[in-house]
Amino acid sequence: MYLSSADFKKRIEFSLCQQHASDDDVRAFCDKAIQADVGVACVNPVNIPLTVQRLEGQEIGISANVGFPFGSHLPEVKALETRKAIEGGATQIDMVINVGALKSKRDNLVMEDIRGVVEAAHGITVKTIIETWVLTEEEKKRACRIAENAGAALVKTTTGVRTQYLLEINADPKGATVADMHLMRRVLGPEIKIKASGGIYTLDFALELIRAGADQLGVSQGEKIIRKFTENYPDGLELSG
């Protein structure tokens, strides 16, 4: 697989998910996204209007985080949040699934949760965040199958948000992993894409994840990784499996 600089940039989804992000933070984030020419800018729903305004005329997708970061909102609330985000100008949705329901084997509720967002999105790309770092291998497989059957376009590893609750059950949480890329790619149909997110801070790791099956990369330091790719591979890179 040949990976040009332009191709690599469009795989990068740049995120600003902090609850304390000010308007100035959002503007600075958008300016970085424009300079780096990333594929997507992901923000919290309250920051969608300002992001849309700042990225006007740019070929950068704008994704809203829904049910973020815990996924424990009621399905109808996630659907409403989706509709409001799209009304505000979001062109994609990153939703957190109901992880507790998944672990309780209430698969119908997980399906309803995702499908409600997909239907509310009316054809706009929906990415489901399954929170791999709190799941068993069986739960990861089941989450992928449910997301695919519910109509999600992508399945995403984690929110990347480390909390005290996460650390209570996983003392050393890993976000995106190569092993999970291989697992998800085996389970999902070829038309369903994978978004690796969480702990992607170096170019080498980003390329390793792409080799393993990641289509998109959710990162908070996208401009640094893109700059490194451009410096190291000005003529692109032949990426072997």
Of the residues 9, 78, 140, 156, only one is catalytic, namely 156
Residues 6+ apart with CB under 8 A from 128: 95, 97, 114, 143, 147, 150, 152, 154, 155, 156
- 103 annotated active-site: no
Given a contact cutoff of 8 angstroms between Cβ atoms, the answer to whether 193 and 153 are in contact is yes
- 235 annotated active-site: no
Measured distance between the N- and C-terminal CA atoms of the chain, rounded to whole angstroms: 8
For residue 182, give the DSSP letter: H
H helices of 97-163, in order, are: 99-103, 107-121, 137-150
Given a contact cutoff of 8 angstroms between Cβ atoms, the answer to whether 177 and 139 are in contact is no
Of the residues 9, 78, 94, 140, only one is catalytic, namely 94
- 195 annotated active-site: yes
List the catalytic residues: 94, 156, 195
